[in-house]
Amino acid sequence: MCGINGIIDYHKRYSMEERNKLVHQMNEKIIYRGPNMEGLFDNEHVTMGMRRLSIIDLSTGRQPIYNEDKTLAIVFNGEIYNFKRLREELIQKGHQFYTSADTEVIVHAYEEFGNQAFDRLDGMFSFAIFDSRQNKVVIARDRMGEKPLYFYYNEDYFVFGSELKSLLSTGIVPKVIDKKALNQYLQLTYIPAPLTIFEHVKKVKPAHYMEISLDGTVTEHNYWNYPKTKFSEKDLSYQEAKNKLYTLLEQSVKDRMVSDVPLGAFLSGGIDSSIIVGLMSKLSEQPVETFTIGFDEKEYDERDRAKMVADLNKTNHHAKVLDYKDALSLINHILMKMDEPFADSSVLPSYFVSEFAGEHVKVVLTGDAGDEMFMGYSKYLIDYYSRKYKKVPKFLRKGIIEPVVYHLPDNRAITRKIRKVIDNAEKDLFEQRKALMSLGFKEQERKQLLQDSYYDETCMEFLKDIYEENSQDDEVSKTQKLDARVVLEGDMFTKVDRMSMLNSIETRTPLVSRDIVEFAMQLPSSYKIKEKNLKRILKDAFVDILPENFDKYPKSGFAVPLDYWFRNELKEELTNLLNEEVIKNQGIFDYEYIHTIIEEHLSGRKNRKSELWTLYVFEKWYQHVME
């Protein structure tokens, strides 16, 4: 696990020494991603650098790594889980290896198969290969977007790196806010690929690679797509599907347990991480190291659920209570490491569980992506509840239920859930899905919030494009692919990558192996969700390794008490960040609208924690990066 950086200097504007110094500077910005060593490759046009966190082949895995005649050189961030099988295949074809690292397998696979090699890799990665035979650099990102890769180019340079801060450190990249990206952030609370908060900087899209010729030609290519065919219930019975899923996930966990350093697992108390821990315990000769963060507030605490799983599997369990004062003291440190505005507040406990695990191990397996692969979010029930609600006579809905519900304060979770059903009941299915993906400002609110010059009416159209990409799919499958393409890459994997790397540990996600992703996407929708039964096949396939009646225990998720903070500990900072002078000088937002939502929240009339956190995070970012 590492971080990579590089500069391609088409016209040799820099001397090699100057360019190497810049790339070294880029590496220093992300030293926590790879505290063990630095590597550099250079020639007259190209410098590629990396920082290494040693996980596999501790003695000979130093990068850059070359092929036999050194016509190819690679810097690599990530892990390739099927590298041993690929290595044997390549040896049979005559390739000679000088390390036992997965990095070298990529070089020889590229030498043998060209760009088709990328589709053969099962893993998480971003890498850059200099190909001296064709005078080009190839950069690529893994199929699900677990590992980040940013780039910027103009007529003189192509600059790339694992994190945005490295690109900015060169002084080459202009800092101009991308209005479409800003609008996406305000509505989604994050910015999915390919956009970034800066107009001229982009993210490589998942399952894509780019070729950069030394003459300045840049092309982008897609190397993998979700399968278009689906199993029917006649092709694959439910029992056969359960058995197949068990086999695939067990193999995925086994592949991801390969490590030359101590290894453990995050155990949140949810079904997904509990299944991963159960399989790890089955495969391990030693007790698995498991890590849980708990909270004094009972509504956010899941230590009891996690302990049930730990006891069942006889793990070496570590639990720690997160004091929210600790979280408050580190908000600046955590948010600024994200580089872009990122308003998923679970980034805070994600940092602390990574820090806690890092005191004991260097690699952890996670249960991330189970909800996206097997339909686990409660938002997937919106159509079910909407249909139920619309069966209530209209005079009752409009005359009694809705006036009562909207009169109640929305400081209780149940009230907010009922409002979501009411708000979305009359919308078509796509509009329902888009509304529930919008965790910040609703579409109309975004229009009120932004000055006309910053408002982008079309910023969310990309969601419809993805949703309708496979028009033959049923609605559940369209929704699943939408979340896998947007939420996983833009939110979940971004959060986990940054927080784990900030603590110099590596996270691995068994539920997004290539085999499992393709299998999940081909399953009949009824196998994944049936009426109110979410993640049906995942729970049924692994019922024997979960505690009895485990699904009956409530799950709360990684929540933090933002509503309370904004009325107490963060009130002064919030009002300072969003004061009239600051907002009007900035020229991006409408101050009167911001003033209204602050007053609504502080008075208790409305819970505006999500909108205020989205603004709070943006203003802190703006202050830190733009000013």
| Active site amino acids | 2
The alpha-helical segments, DSSP class H, found in 425-511 are 429-437, 443-449, 461-467, 475-483, 493-502
Whole-number Å distance between alpha carbons of 3 and 165 = 12
Picking from 465, 482, 301, 287, the residue whose alpha carbon sits closest to that of residue 375 is 482
Whole-number Å distance between alpha carbons of 238 and 524 = 9
The answer to whether the beta carbons of residues 253 and 365 sit under 8 Å apart is: yes
Per-residue DSSP letters for 190-253?
S--TTB-SBTT-EEPPTTEEEEEETTS-EEEEE-----S----TTTS-HHHHHHHHHHHHHHHH
Query: In angstroms, what CA-CA distances link 425 with 19, 80, 225, 385?
Result: 57, 44, 33, 8
The answer to whether the beta carbons of residues 39 and 75 sit under 8 Å apart is: yes
Whole-number Å distance between alpha carbons of 437 and 421 = 14
Tokens representing 7 are 């500069």
Direct distance between the N- and C-terminal alpha carbons of the chain, in angstroms, rounded to an integer: 33
Contacts of residue 70, Cβ cutoff 8 Å, sequence gap at least 6: none
Whole-number Å distance between alpha carbons of 18 and 173 = 17
Q: Is the peptide bond before 194 cis (omega within 30 degrees of 0)?
A: yes
| Range 339-354 burial, b when 16+ CB lie within 10 A, else e | bbbbbbbbbbbbbbbb
Within 10 Å of residue 596's Cβ, how many Cβ atoms? Answer: 14
**Is residue 94 exposed (0-12), middle (13-18) or buried (19+ Cβ within 10 Å)?**
exposed
Amino acid at 152: Y
**Is residue 389 exposed (0-12), middle (13-18) or buried (19+ Cβ within 10 Å)?**
middle
